[in-house]
Structure 1
């Protein structure tokens, strides 16, 4: 079989990787987005990653998941070791990882087909190359590749693919070199799972994914049941049990979400169907990262598409099991897709919708298409031409989407045009108007959106922040915002907005209104703390104490500021946060109060688990000694100035 004059599968693979590079090239000039900032700004927290102390502080201080994802964080050091940085450096590396994943997918597909032993070697090569091309050039992968922080998802896919390749290669060696084969397969599942999991937690699904692959392969050549039990069944069972512990069918298992677990499961049925639709009927761009306005399923028929989605997915699953022997690759593509979504699209209280969840899940979805295209190409001569046309369309769509990703402003404005029910999208539009000096238009836009989405606390906080920013907020504005926030839905972005508001007020840039705004802000925090919504979040409660301390410090009430800094330190129980508060108190001209806080910070250091410290304990002790000396010197200088005639 030949594809439009291309001499060999290897040449076609080379052309595919070059085409992928060209298709993604426009997007490499884009900037950082959303979660890039909180995940990467720690690069500059200690003046850059320069030695073991700063390396440890960055790599082992991750917060994006239970593991901290240290391998993914370490990979960012390939591109820069400080912050702010230059996004294209990171995007270039992401593109290389994407292409490497494509090449590994080609190898994995080739080994899969070889294990089936149903076609010739030449056919197997063409199948693997075509399956790789369909995945590599698909526009759906753009958001994972060009969104810098999603390198975490990329690396999880990469290490899962390495594990799958080694496993399949070892499986082919079982009859000839069993000892070597078992070593390879054990290494594949063990090391592959470890590396993938410490890149992103869904990498822990690798044993289950290998088990899915094994269930679709012939029994001939299968590892002994003892090995399968130890390396595949037990780890898969452990992950399943761990996920089962998250099951909570109560009315409000996640106070920080506007859906419960039943609603999440119902909604995810529609979302997974939508994922499949866009994988097989691709589009250039959709709502992007503004998915917080996605309609939640409140019941089987609310909306009616929920029931249809569940029926479709159930039927798809049943068919996939039923045809495992007759059409193993179709079965594999479907079951692998479902298994990959087990962690992020079921009972864990994550946000509902993200495209990058399909980076791993979609790996083998296109292999059946490639298989039947090659098998029937001898009977239908136009099939190779049609395949090339499809690849050309995919590459052009990827190029257009990457071009859109090259300009953050255009990209976000594109997203908000379709995400009309997303508070985050509305917030972005308002910010755009403000940045262009159109304050009145920004306010009018937010007011209209708030009436349409009365439960959104983010829009309430944004409207107040805009008025403060313009110096036009009244005491009544603060009171009204507080009363609304008290009963509106929790949103982590709202908390961030309130923190930004306090930083704006204490920054002193609101001229004569600043002291009034500080007092109004204290009343606002009082109202929010008494809220049945916000009052139940420890994260918010510790932040409230810290924000109050900053406001009192700005007003000049050192006693109150000290009290709330002390309360915040006791709630955070984190050495870096404590030392930062000590520094704020000292820098404001209250070294004696700062010394008292330093004693409390020293106690926090003594009690904090060394594994949770971002640097060595000795490094913190040196900082404390330096701070103590500087504060005592400041006290002497202050006393001397007071005693001077």
Structure 2
């Protein structure tokens, strides 16, 4: 590429990014969804002393806490929770950066194939990938900034590998190894701190090295370097997963490990279908109704899906030298989803999981079309027109769906119509009705003319909260003593207790809430639940019964609750019992020491209470 072509490439890339921004911007003025709230509520503490680092380091979505992503959210705390658009704006800018990185990566890949006009083909890949409607949820689902950042650092890490390869081609061994070690190491570390998926970066580099660079001359000491820089992190990951697998628990999921793996074979094809031919109403963050594969033939497309992937993997493995590009595309798509689509008991389907994997699919598609153009010259105009119309159709879907994101009630209603069995779509639609003050309509949507006892637990929990603003007929105490265990019920009760004395909750009173919690405590399925004891303690404290509050909080601590200690310390400080508060704080310290490195999540809160206790003792 000469200088003039370079300027033209840069100009067209900027125009492409402007186009992508215009397509996605219609969805910026939208709402927070799903676990946005549970992950970002911590931002309300940023203005407090030590709150910034508390918000950055206290995320519980993973063992590492994804501090880099949370740091980016903490820097925007001033916009929480009134301005979701500000968060989504940053997400979109990261998506634009990723689109540019995809163009650069594609340029390297096409040059590696020795293709003419590699820069134009790279722009085509970036365009195809960046405007995909499937990526709307990665950008507009706020918390998926974690995915966007992990992808950004993964792409930068792969580009660092290509740069090192260029240095090796010029016999600059030391410089190549030094640059690769520093840049790849930084990208791997930063990517993992954004989201754990980035730990697959060395696997993606090894894939390129063993497919597209399969026949190239290796630089000196390359095999030794690969073992240290790429294989060692993967071996450590495998050891971790091996130990982790012993503690994998599917008890709280409506599927087993086998059922999840079988279902993922269909999910991976479903992502591809939505990428190649996106259907507007099917594009959604509400896929909790995706049918689980109960066996090889239930549903019937399970076995063909499994056989399809086994066939593709076999062909890719057996034809690395003959079809290296095909092996690369299949390998990248599958390996980039290895963490979220394998043994870890995550939910079945989320569109953002395909964000990085689809880079190779877009590149392979453009490569295939380019070969068709070269092979069938007399049909080149027909192929070009078909591709243009296809991209225009995809653009129209993206534009329409982005605008739908800015209409939360309309979006929830459309998705609920398409996914009538989706509890999340129903709950989202009900929440939007509540936000508009239409409490009766929300209750009707949740009840669906069924008795409370017949509803899924997640809807029962939402109705308990709805009972704050609307009088509802709830089951008898006997029902709560026999109902099956559900974390959704406890989550809703926790929210209920937090607002029960506010104007937000007019129809619940302390006695009714206490009776409900007590009935659950008599239920064998809920026996020993630390959170129930803590809820009872909080309710007793609201009623001025500090003796019972302390007893219940103590029972919660005996069952593993650390949060109950904070309540005990608050009570002791309110009673001017500094020594009692100090004893409880010492118990917290011992508990945190037992947690090892996982205890760092509570460090900021511990320091806060330490300061309060020290002040009380001084007085």
Aligned to 2:229: 231
Aligned to 1:603: 587
C-alpha displacement of 1:419: 2.1
Contact 1:548-1:561 at 8 Å conserved across structures:
yes
> Measured at CA, do residues 535 and 270 of structure 1 come closer, stay the same or move farther in structure 2, by a change above 3 Å?
farther
Aligned to 1:266: 262
Which shows bigger deviation, 598-607 or 397-406? 598-607
C-alpha displacement of 1:509: 7.2
- For residues 482 and 617 of structure 1, the distance between their equivalents in structure 2, rounded to whole angstroms, comes to 36
C-alpha displacement of 1:261: 0.8
Residues 158-193 of structure 1 show CA distances to partners (whole Å, capped at 9, x for unaligned) of: 000000001012112213112111222323432221
Matches within 5 A, 1:115-514: 115-116=112-113, 118-120=114-116, 123-176=117-170, 177-218=172-213, 219-223=215-219, 224-247=222-245, 253-286=249-282, 288-377=284-373, 379=377, 380-382=379-381, 383-434=383-434, 442-448=442-448, 454=454, 456-467=456-467, 469-473=469-473, 476-484=475-483, 487=484, 490=486, 492-507=487-502, 514=509
> Measured at CA, do residues 306 and 374 of structure 1 come closer, stay the same or move farther in structure 2, by a change above 3 Å?
closer
C-alpha displacement of 1:96: 0.9
> Measured at CA, do residues 545 and 46 of structure 1 come closer, stay the same or move farther in structure 2, by a change above 3 Å?
farther
CA-based RMSD: 3.2
Contact 2:514-2:536 at 8 Å conserved across structures:
no
- For residues 145 and 581 of structure 1, the distance between their equivalents in structure 2, rounded to whole angstroms, comes to 42
- Out of 77, 80, 85, the position equivalent to 1:80 is 77
Aligned to 1:90: 87
- For residues 593 and 414 of structure 1, the distance between their equivalents in structure 2, rounded to whole angstroms, comes to 57
Which shows bigger deviation, 550-559 or 440-449? 440-449
Report how many aligned residue pairs link the two structures: 602
Aligned to 1:641: none
Contact 2:332-2:360 at 8 Å conserved across structures:
yes
Matches within 5 A, 1:3-22: 8-22=8-22
Matches within 5 A, 1:48-63: 53-63=50-60
SS in 1 for 2:169: coil
> Measured at CA, do residues 327 and 40 of structure 1 come closer, stay the same or move farther in structure 2, by a change above 3 Å?
same
Contact 2:146-2:194 at 8 Å conserved across structures:
yes
Which shows bigger deviation, 421-430 or 156-165? 421-430
C-alpha displacement of 1:40: 1.7
Aligned to 1:625: 614
> Measured at CA, do residues 442 and 112 of structure 1 come closer, stay the same or move farther in structure 2, by a change above 3 Å?
closer
> Measured at CA, do residues 140 and 240 of structure 1 come closer, stay the same or move farther in structure 2, by a change above 3 Å?
same
- Residue 583 of structure 2 is aligned to residue 579 of structure 1: no
- For residues 444 and 397 of structure 1, the distance between their equivalents in structure 2, rounded to whole angstroms, comes to 32
> Measured at CA, do residues 433 and 26 of structure 1 come closer, stay the same or move farther in structure 2, by a change above 3 Å?
closer
Matches within 5 A, 1:24-43: 24-43=24-43
C-alpha displacement of 1:199: 0.6
> Measured at CA, do residues 441 and 78 of structure 1 come closer, stay the same or move farther in structure 2, by a change above 3 Å?
closer
- For residues 393 and 373 of structure 1, the distance between their equivalents in structure 2, rounded to whole angstroms, comes to 18
- For residues 358 and 78 of structure 1, the distance between their equivalents in structure 2, rounded to whole angstroms, comes to 27
- For residues 165 and 560 of structure 2, the distance between their equivalents in structure 1, rounded to whole angstroms, comes to 51
C-alpha displacement of 1:562: 1.4
SS in 2 for 1:66: coil
C-alpha displacement of 1:138: 0.9
- Out of 97, 108, 113, the position equivalent to 1:100 is 97
Contact 1:163-1:188 at 8 Å conserved across structures:
yes
Contact 1:20-1:395 at 8 Å conserved across structures:
no
Which shows bigger deviation, 508-517 or 220-229? 508-517
> Measured at CA, do residues 185 and 561 of structure 1 come closer, stay the same or move farther in structure 2, by a change above 3 Å?
same
Structure 1 stretches of 5 or more lacking a match? 633-645
Structure 2 stretches of 5 or more lacking a match? 594-598
Aligned to 2:596: none
